[in-house]
Amino acid sequence: MEHHGERYERGLKALQFVSGQAEPNVVDIATAPDLARYVVEFGYGEVYSKPGLEPRDRQLVIIGALAALGNAAPQLRFHINGALNAGRTRTEVVEALTQIAVYAGFPAAINAITAAAEVFAARDAED
Amino acid sequence: MEHHGERYERGLKALQFVSGQAEPNVVDIATAPDLARYVVEFGYGEVYSKPGLEPRDRQLVIIGALAALGNAAPQLRFHINGALNAGRTRTEVVEALTQIAVYAGFPAAINAITAAAEVFAARDAED
Amino acid sequence: MEHHGERYERGLKALQFVSGQAEPNVVDIATAPDLARYVVEFGYGEVYSKPGLEPRDRQLVIIGALAALGNAAPQLRFHINGALNAGRTRTEVVEALTQIAVYAGFPAAINAITAAAEVFAARDAED
Amino acid sequence: MEHHGERYERGLKALQFVSGQAEPNVVDIATAPDLARYVVEFGYGEVYSKPGLEPRDRQLVIIGALAALGNAAPQLRFHINGALNAGRTRTEVVEALTQIAVYAGFPAAINAITAAAEVFAARDAED
Amino acid sequence: MEHHGERYERGLKALQFVSGQAEPNVVDIATAPDLARYVVEFGYGEVYSKPGLEPRDRQLVIIGALAALGNAAPQLRFHINGALNAGRTRTEVVEALTQIAVYAGFPAAINAITAAAEVFAARDAED
Amino acid sequence: MEHHGERYERGLKALQFVSGQAEPNVVDIATAPDLARYVVEFGYGEVYSKPGLEPRDRQLVIIGALAALGNAAPQLRFHINGALNAGRTRTEVVEALTQIAVYAGFPAAINAITAAAEVFAARDAED
């Protein structure tokens, strides 16, 4: 149990860092409590927390993947925000999503830019 | 004509940098000469060469996208090699591709690791 | 004509079974009447109605496919509901969609769970 | 500068032709001005404007691609409209999208038909 | 039975036309005889044979879809060959696949051009 | 450490069951040892081993997902074999993959049937 606890605690911290929220909520916990736990323990507590690649670099890999797949808009917005929280500039995010046009086509890039514009506007509104 | 030339020259330099080859050849030029030219002029001469995101960071976005799509093995190998040429370590590449398991599934990550192993072996053989 | 009729009748029964509706409507019939007919005659009257795999098993294959593709939300909700109509429990559906995290990534699984939560809520509201 | 200008002007004309609008707006220009420029200069000024394939034929390729990918609804609607502007009939568009059921599955075709119905209704409302 | 026969005969003719072969063989018949029959009866006997869109136009939709998906190389080669058999020129095919770079990315287009080069070479070898 | 050990042991047993091999090897361990460990601990030790869905049912979900994605041939073959090891008949596997034609298109189904034929032949050769 302790060990699970360790992974969970480490994952929660990483997820708080990426989301910028004290109580990040990325899965419908009531419907799929185990999946919600896996996100924290495995997704963030194991993979994301590994040394060897900086969070600011992981976020580039993740927004590259999600923008290219083009079928997970909530997660793309979440991780564009996460890239900014991890220290990337808006310019770097826009450049990264523009680069996607070459590898996954213009529609994927254009829709990712729309997602970025929404994230930027939400952050501006919070300030 | 001059202007096309400028974009082409800038693109060729970027493509040489990423590929580590003096005469990189990424498209069947005889069959699709215009597509081959677009890769250099647009893909590398315009998008890749833009300031605002470092080549070493662009490579993370690109291998994230290609590993997630999982349907472009030659290009994934090319850009894993490119990430190393742009200054990323093998550890960073492996971490980036491992991160893909969370966002595009284990098969995508496993097949990308197979691609990385091939690239690493080819580089070892060259030394 | 009679033969078409047979396939259509058999398909309609299967579609009624999966949807739980007397007059299931899954395509914009006015715009694409032939496509709507193919769904019934071919999709359900031929493929779905074949012996050799139980409807409750076909539904697992279908929600696995749709959750992994991640680009067909209306059809995923339809077939999550269909899995329940075919005798699968909510637990089995949630387990199946959680399994998708391993093969198509967490975003695909998370969005499929959101779809499942909507279907479960709609069924609860009907009771 | 002149040369960029040429590509841009040629691209803008092509984009106006496809969209049927004097000031077509397909990217969030404020967020990603370079991507917006690439759409015009490269997407329409270079690729789309090339001789060797008629606009009415390019539109079939494009709606085939976008319907199959199934993850770019705004662009699919844009190019269904573009196919009609380029001289394709509604019947041809519906047949093309129905054909997609065979190559990318019924959900992709059904969702593309929904997009087509929206485009047809919007055009009817304009008349 | 007759009706099935009609669909099958019509489909076989269409498939012979697209493939240029007297006995086209596109599925592992021994393993999945019903799927093989559906290809002929439904894919070609119903969808492909419908009036409203010319075979030469259907082939553009199909190669657009398959090149964009990028995960079905045998079928892409088959339908590039089919486009030529249906009256499209090699130039038109190359233009269509180049157009895919804009909508599904350069890797999809580059790999489709490789497929086209293989088809062109095989046809040259036959002459 | 013990706890990790528990998950690993449970996962290894599940992986041995699915693969039918005493020492299953699904990732390039030398290149990505952590990813290889995650497959066992997380993929099989946590997700696959959960009660609530039978292995024979999980295999249907998995082959549905992999056949639909169409970009992970080694994993599809592995899990077709796994479905048989988990108690599914060849007929059920063929029906499941044929059903994919309706949801992800005929090419996806045809290529999955080719994978199944290879698995069936390999098992016949072993007997």
pLDDT per residue as tens digits for the range D24-69: 999 999 999 999 999 999 999 999 999 999 999 999 999 999 999 9
State whether C26 and C74 are in the same domain.
no
State whether A70 and A46 are in the same domain.
no
List all chains that touch chain B, counting a touch as 3 or more CB pairs closer than 8 Å: A, C, D, E, F
Q: Which residues, at least 6 apart from F5, have a Cβ–Cβ distance to it below 8 Å?
A: none
Q: What CATH number is attached to the domain comprising C96? A: 1.20.1290.10
Supply the DSSP symbol for E44: I
Considering only the beta carbons, identify the residue of C60, C65, C96 that sits closest to F104. C65
ipTM above 0.90, yes or no: yes
Contact D35, A110 (CB under 8 A): yes
State whether C70 and C12 are in the same domain.
no
State whether E106 and E61 are in the same domain.
yes
State whether B20 and B45 are in the same domain.
yes
Phi, psi angle pair for E25, to nearest 5°: -140, 100
Angle at E66 (CA atoms; ends E61, E71), nearest 5 degrees: 170
State whether C59 and C41 are in the same domain.
no
Portion of chain D with pLDDT greater than 70, in percent = 97
Q: Which helix (H) or strand (E) holds D86?
A: none
State whether E11 and E62 are in the same domain.
no
Determine the Cα–Cα distance for residues E96 and E101; give it in Å rounded to an integer. 9
Question: How many Cα atoms occupy the beta-carbon half-sphere of E122 within 13 Å?
Answer: 11
Contact F24, F8 (CB under 8 A): no
CA distance D50 to chain E (A): 8
Determine the Cα–Cα distance for residues A37 and C106; give it in Å rounded to an integer. 12
* Tens-digit pLDDT string for chain E (127 aa): 344 599 999 999 999 999 999 999 999 999 999 999 999 999 999 999 999 999 999 999 999 999 999 999 999 999 999 999 999 999 999 999 999 999 999 999 999 999 999 999 999 999 8
State whether D46 and D75 are in the same domain.
no
Is the CB of D104 less than 8 angstroms away from the CB of F103?
A: no
State whether A118 and A67 are in the same domain.
yes
State whether A69 and A126 are in the same domain.
yes
Q: Is E119 on the interface with B (CB under 8 A)?
A: no
The distance in angstroms from the start CA to the end CA of chain E is 41
Is the CB of A72 less than 8 angstroms away from the CB of C108?
A: yes
* Average pLDDT, integer, range D80-104: 98
State whether A69 and A122 are in the same domain.
yes
Q: How many domains does chain C have?
A: 2
Determine the Cα–Cα distance for residues E7 and D127; give it in Å rounded to an integer. 40
State whether D4 and D45 are in the same domain.
yes
Choose the mutation target among A106, A114, A118 for the interface with D, i.e. most D CBs under 10 Å: A106
> Any alpha helices (H) in C1-127, and if so which ranges?
2-19, 33-38, 55-69, 73-85, 90-104, 106-126
- Comparing CA positions, the residue from A65, A58, A59 lying closest to residue A104 is A65
Q: Is E69 on the interface with A (CB under 8 A)?
A: no
**Residues B50-109: tens digit of each pLDDT:** 999 999 999 999 999 999 999 999 999 999 999 999 999 999 999 999 999 999 999 999
- Comparing CA positions, the residue from B32, D17, D117 lying closest to residue E100 is B32
Residue F34's pLDDT is 98
> Is residue F94 scored above 80 in pLDDT?
yes
Length of chain A: 127
Which range of residues forms the domain containing residue D96? Answer: 54-127
**DSSP class per residue in B60-84:** HHHHHHHHHH---HHHHHHHHHHHH
Q: Is F108 on the interface with D (CB under 8 A)?
A: yes
Place of tokens 């601990």: F41
- Comparing CA positions, the residue from A112, A74, A75 lying closest to residue A93 is A112
- Comparing CA positions, the residue from B94, B98, B84 lying closest to residue B126 is B84
Residue D14's pLDDT is 98
